[in-house]
């Protein structure tokens, strides 16, 4: 039996995994889907202090207090920033990293540095509420990047999406031991929609990499292609 910890991306919450988790649990595995502070059902905890370090601590806390080890730590989108920090802080609890159409940062990089054009588009629709700069509002153009087009899916997501603190995206990730991080096995799952917006040659470069998959889906593939994602995740353990 494996233990999966699924970390959502910007503007989402643990709810976004609802179509994927039953498939993993049906195969006999444990699944945890924490919601990061200030988002989803934890939106009432929003404050000016929330940043990338806050979200890393959220997930480290789950691993620690649940007594989890050898976890398959999956991060979607911004969640790639988070799981990289978690693996650095709690390397002894992480068995594998999975980047699900996610940012794959190096030491000292922020999400703005990793995905500058997308972050610029997100910030164009920012609003300040109670001293917190928030982006990815559900009614902004930025959410088109999620790649969810089915009206029923859009309706299901609409009242669950929450704006995200900009501070999380501009804070650089600081690693304590970058070398140790590279020793943790990792896998990458990309989408055709994201590759279409990537620099020329990206898809060709990925074709030669081990433990790398491309799913024909939009960015929120855990919503639109859960069976394809589950098949890959189950094949890793």
pLDDT of residue 201: 67
- The whole domain housing 211 covers 3-235
CATH number at residue 125: 3.40.50.1820
Task: Specify the 3-state DSSP secondary structure of 76.
Answer: strand
The domain tally of the chain equals 1
Residues classed as catalytic: 77
d(CA 202, CA 185): 21
Q: In terms of Cα–Cα distance, which of 39, 46, 43 is closest to 16?
A: 39
pTM of the model: 0.96
pLDDT tens digits, one per residue of 117-156: 889 989 999 999 999 999 999 988 777 889 999 999 999 9
Residue ranges in the chain whose pLDDT is less than 70:
201, 204
Maximum separation of any 2 CA atoms in the chain, in Å: 48
């Amino acid at each position: 039996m494996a233990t999966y910890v699924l970390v959502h991306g910007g503007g989402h919450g643990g709810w976004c995994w609802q179509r994927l988790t039953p498939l993993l649990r049906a195969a006999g595995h444990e699944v945890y889907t924490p919601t990061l502070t200030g988002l989803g059902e934890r939106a009432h905890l929003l404050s000016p202090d929330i940043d990338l370090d806050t979200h890393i601590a959220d997930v480290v806390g789950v691993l620690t207090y649940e007594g989890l080890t050898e976890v398959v730590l999956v991060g979607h989108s911004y969640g790639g920033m988070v799981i990289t920090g978690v693996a650095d802080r709690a390397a002894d609890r992480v068995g594998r990293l999975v980047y699900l159409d996610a940012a794959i940062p190096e030491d000292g990089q922020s999400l703005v540095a990793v995905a500058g054009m997308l972050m610029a588009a997100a910030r164009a629709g920012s609003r300040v509420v109670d001293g917190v700069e928030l982006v990815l509002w559900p009614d902004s153009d930025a959410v088109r990047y999620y790649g969810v087009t089915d009206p029923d899916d859009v309706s299901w997501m609409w009242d669950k999406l929450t704006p995200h603190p900009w501070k999380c995206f501009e804070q650089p990730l600081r690693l304590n031991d970058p070398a140790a991080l590279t020793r943790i096995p990792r896998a990458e799952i990309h989408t055709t929609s994201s590759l279409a917006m990537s620099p020329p040659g990206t898809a060709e470069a990925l074709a030669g990499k081990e433990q790398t998959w491309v799913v024909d889906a939009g960015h929120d593939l855990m919503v639109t292609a859960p069976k394809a994602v589950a098949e890959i995740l189950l094949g890793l353990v």
